[in-house]
Amino acid sequence: MKFLIVGLGNIGAEYANTRHNIGFLVADELAAKHNATFSTERYADKTEFRSKGKTFIVIKPSTYMNLSGNALRYWMQQEKVLLEHVIVVTDDLALPFGKVRMRGKGSDGGHNGLKHIQQILNTGDYARIRVGVGNEFAKGQQVDYVLGAWTGEEKEGLEAVVQKSAQGCLSFAFIGVALTMNTFNSK
């Protein structure tokens, strides 16, 4: 059984340590925990590992955030992964820093990466983990905030947030979205 984990972010050194790239950090955590190495492939950096009889394909789209759906669709088709076995990891301004929420479906919530995925898939019925990055920005400064670097205080808590999000991805595959939401969202 195959699962596709899509960590959203933007490629390039200028985006590496920004809030918008939390999905890439979670993808990196999953790869590191399973001694997997990313290779540059079509539309994404991709790695693969097995755990408890399941195969995990992890991608970091190279399409930039606003075209993330292209990478997701390509790798779903290439690896023959069912939509119910896809999970997307993304930043969320509506959640305070460190808060992590899993959903089995939903709206794009104004997030351009999710908006493109929903346009490409023609549905919002896919699992996602939304990682809170807070909203400590002045009116009109949203783009600068999400593309800004983590504060010192955020960096201190970042590793735990990334690890929790990575665990949520695996739990989704092992026990399903409903049970994962019940345990994961209540912590």
* Beta strands across the sheet bearing 127-132: 39-41, 44-51, 54-61, 2-7, 86-92, 127-132, 100-103
How many CA atoms lie within 13 Å of 126's alpha carbon, on the beta-carbon side? 29
Are the C-beta atoms of residues 91 and 35 closer than 8 Å to each other?
Answer: no
Please say if 20 is a catalytic residue.
yes
Give the residue among 107, 108, 105, 121 at the shortest CA–CA distance from 178: 105
Q: Of the residues 20, 85, 111, 116, which is catalytic?
A: 20
How far apart CA 141 and CA 134 sit, in angstroms, is 13
- Interacting residues of 45 by C-beta distance below 8 A, sequence separation 6+: 38, 39, 59, 60, 62
Give the tokens for residue 158: 């970042």
The three-class DSSP label of residue 162 is helix
Whole-number Cα distances in Å, 186 to 83, 99, 163: 25, 10, 16
Which residues are tagged catalytic? 20
